[in-house]
Structures are given as C-alpha cells and as structure tokens.
Structure 1
Amino acid sequence: MGKTFRNLFVGGCVLLWLVPLYLLVVNALTPVGSYSGTAAWTPNGFALLDNLVTAWNDAGIGESFLSSLLYAVVCGAAAVLVAAMAAFAVVVLPIPRPAFWFWLIYSGTLFPLQMFLAPLFGMYAEGNLYDTRLGLMLIYVAWAVPFAFFLIRNQMTTMPPEVTEAAMIDGASFRRIFWRIHVPLMGSSLAAAFIFQFTAVWNDLLFGITLTRSPDVQPVMAALTSLNNAYASSGPPVILAGALIVSLPTLVVFLTFRGLFLRGVTAATR
C-alpha cells in the first residue's frame, strides 16, 4: 500500500511538471496568425523556427542570452573559487573563532534579497556601476558565495586532518595543500556548487530588472519580461518560443552533469 501511494505521488508530481512543458512546446509551435487566444492542446501548424528567430533576433533575446551565459559561467566559477578558499580558511587554517566566520559567511543566505535592493541601487548609481556588466557580475558573485561556501565546507569537514598534517610535515605550504590536495579531492562538490550557482544566476530576474536597463547588459530573464510586454498583442507563441530558448541551458547543464551533481550533493550533505 505504501509503495503504491509513493508511486502515485511521484507520478503525479512528474505529470504536474510535464503538462506545463508540453503546453509550452505545443503553443510555441503555433503560427502567430493561427493562435486563437487560448492554450492549444494539440499542434496547430508548425512555426517553431519562425517564432524562435523572431524571439532571438527581432525581440533581442539573443543578445541577452549571451550576456546571461557570460554572467552564469564567470560569476558561478568565481563564486565557487572564493567559496572554496573561504571554506579552506575556516576548516583547515588555524584562524581564531572559525564558527564565527562560518556563520558570518553563511548568513548571506538567510536574508531576503529584496532588503538589499534600495541600498544597492543607491550605491550603484553613485559608483557608476548601474547598468554595467561589471556591476551585475559583482553582485552575482557576492550573492552566490554563501551557499557555495556551505556546500564545499560541509564536504571539507569530512576530509581527515591527517592529510593536511602529512603534507605540512613534507614541507607543503597552505597554498600548495589547497591547490594540490583539497581542490582535486573536492571536485564533485565544486561541480555541484557551480551547477547550483549557474542555475541561480541564469534564472535571476530581481537584480536584472533593478540594476540594468540596456538590452546589451540585461540578463535573459529581464529580456524575457520585456518580450512579454512587447509581444503581448501578437500572441504568446513568440513569447513561449523565447521561454523555450531561455530554459535550454540549465536543462542541458543538469542533464550533462547530473551524475557529478548527485555525487557532489551527496558528499556535501552526508
């Protein structure tokens, strides 16, 4: 009985996830001129390529797509690197009050992002960082560090201290211990943290619409919002084609590295 209920529950969750995806794809296929105004459950023509081209070129999704790819890859990698160094300092280095530093860094995940918007907007306007790629990348890195630090630090605490002690006896510096021992051993956790941060940066809308306004600087989620406003009169097929474009990178990254991701999460949470 319990197994049957579990299978039904899982099947229901899968169905709830697949139905919106199915509707997105079917309605993105529909030609704009043939759209009736209500969601179609069966394909009504095939204009996917035309809708994708309109969303990519005419609506400006392509430029924002490349900007978001830059933000997600560079900021995700930079945040993971900073988080790994911070975790190494808290766990391995003989610093005073390591628990204090852990909670100080981890507290970045405890506060709602909305509380930072007003001071950030004022600071960015005064510092000429508003509507710049550098300004957006700085906030993305700072935002992504705390959770990546949490994941990496959790796995680092499981590593036996004898490894570090043996390396120090052999004359290795802390820098060498970090790059030659800890980084290779933490590869799965670093990868899992990167996938988390890549997805978070890619899906960001809040900072994108608050700290930018230029199409060549805006992330793709902000551009998708603009697309929704600009093409509302022509019907959803172009908007849904843009949403299809936007959803592909995170799906590809997760499906490609799902094994590495699961190993990293398991190592970081056990």
Structure 2
Amino acid sequence: MGRIFRNLFVAGCVVLWLIPLYLLVVNALTPVTAYTGRPDWAPRGFAVWENLSTAWSDAGIGDSFLSSLVYAVVCGAAAVVVAAMAAFAVVVLPIPKPVFWFWLIYSGTLFPLQMFLAPLFGMYADGNLYDTRLGLMLVYVAWAVPFAFFLIRNQMTTMPPEVTEAAMLDGASFRRIFWRIHVPLMGSSLAAAFIFQFTAVWNDLLFGITLSRSPDIQPVMAALTTLNNAYASSGPPVILAGALIVSLPTLVVFLVFRGLFLRGITATAR
C-alpha cells in the first residue's frame, strides 16, 4: 500500500511539472493573431518558427543568448577551477585552521544575494565595471565558487591521504599533485560542480538586471524580462517562444551529461 501511494505521489509531481511545460509549448506554437488572451490547451496553428524568429532577432534574445552562453561556460569553468584549488588547500595542504577556512568560503552560500546588490552597484559604478561583460563575469565567478567548493571538498575528503604521501615521497610538488593526481581522480565531481554552476549562471536574473542594461551585455534572463515588457501587447506567444529558447541549453546539458552528473553527485555524497 505504501508503495502505491509513493508511486501515485511521484506521478502527481510529474504531472504538475509537465502541465506548465505543455502549456508553454502549445502557446508558443500559436500564431499571435490567433491568440485569444487565455491559455490554449490545444494548438490553434503552427507559428513556432515565426514566434522564435521574432523573439531571437527582432526582440534581441539572440545577442543576450550568446552573452549568457559565454558567461555560463567561462564563469562556471573558472569557478570550478578556483573551488578545486581552495578545496585542495583546505583538505591537503598543511594550512592552519582548515575548518575556519572551510566555513569562511562556504559562508558565501548562506547570505541572501539581495544584501550584496547595493554595495555591488556602487562599487561597479565607481570602478567603471557597470554594464560590462568583465563586471558580470567577476561577480558570477565569485558567486559560483562557494557551492562548487562545497561539492568538490566533499569528495576530496574521501581520497586516501596515502596517495598524497606517496607522491610527496617521490618528490612531487603540491602543484603537480593537484594537477596530475587529484584533478583526474575528481573528474566526475568537477563535472557535476560545473553543471550546477552553468545552470545557476544561466538562470541568473538578479545580477543581470542590476549590473547591466545594454542588450549585448545583459544575460538572457534579463533580456527575457525586457521581451515581456516590449511584446506584452502582442500576446504571450512571442514571449513563450523566447522562454522556450532560453530553457533549451540547461535541458541539453543535463540530458547529454546526466550519467556524468549522477556519478559526480554520488561521489560528493559519500
């Protein structure tokens, strides 16, 4: 009986997740001229290419899409490298008070992002970093490091210290031990951390609308809010087509790397 209720609960959660996705796809297919002002449960036509073209080119989603792709890939990878070095320092290097350094870095995930907006905006305005790609990339890397550090450090603590000791006896430096031993052994955890940070940076809206305003600088989620304001009079089909575009990269990343992601999560949970 308990198994039946559990299966029904899971099925209900799946249905609740699929209904909004179904409505998004169906209404993105609807021609703007055929939209009645209420969500359609069945397609009223097939204008998905027109809606996608309007959202991509005319509304400027394309420029922001490419900018977000750069932000997500470069900043996600940079955050993972920095986090792996920090985890190596805390777990392997003989530094004083490693627990203090762990909590200092991990505390970056404990505070709400809203408390950083006013100081960041003032600092960026004074330092000529406002509305620049460099400014957004700096804040994305800093924001992504703490959680990536937490994931990577969890797996690094499971690695036997004898591996490091044997390498040191052979004359290897800490730099060589990190790049030649720990990084290859932590490949799945590094990949899982990168997928997490890629998704987080891609889905960011708060920093995007606060620290940028130019269409070619803004991340795609900020551009989607602009699309919502500019094309509200033409109806949701164009807006939903834009939402469909921005949903694809994270979906593709998870589908393509799901095996690697699951192995990484399993490794960090040990």
TM bucket, shorter chain = over 0.9
What stretches of structure 2 of length at least 5 have no aligned partner? Answer: none
Q: Distance in 2 between matches of 1:161 and 1:56?
A: 52
What's 1:162 paired with? 162
Q: Distance in 2 between matches of 1:40 and 1:192?
A: 38
Report the residue type matching 2:188 in the other structure. Answer: S
What's 1:264 paired with? 264
Q: Distance in 1 between matches of 2:87 and 2:12?
A: 40
What's 1:137 paired with? 137
Q: Distance in 2 between matches of 1:67 and 1:152?
A: 27
Q: Distance in 1 between matches of 2:57 and 2:68?
A: 16
What's 2:240 paired with? 240
Matches within 5 A, 1:1-270: 1-270=1-270
Stretches of 4+ aligned residues off by more than 2 angstroms: none
Q: Distance in 1 between matches of 2:193 and 2:13?
A: 26
Cα distance, 1:204 vs structure 2: 0.1
Cα distance, 1:129 vs structure 2: 0.2
Report the residue type matching 1:249 in the other structure. Answer: P
* 2:44 counterpart SS class: coil
Cα distance, 1:58 vs structure 2: 0.1
Report the residue type matching 1:166 in the other structure. Answer: A
* 2:213 counterpart SS class: coil
Cα deviation, 1:145-181, whole Å, max 9, x if unaligned, reads 0000000000000000000000000000000000000
Root-mean-square deviation (Å): 0.3
Q: Distance in 2 between matches of 1:153 and 1:241?
A: 40
* 1:96 counterpart SS class: coil
Q: Distance in 2 between matches of 1:2 and 1:261?
A: 30
Q: Distance in 1 between matches of 2:143 and 2:263?
A: 24
Q: Distance in 1 between matches of 2:131 and 2:43?
A: 40
Cα distance, 1:269 vs structure 2: 1.2
Normalising to structure 2: TM-score of the pair?
Answer: 1.00
Corresponding pairs, count: 270
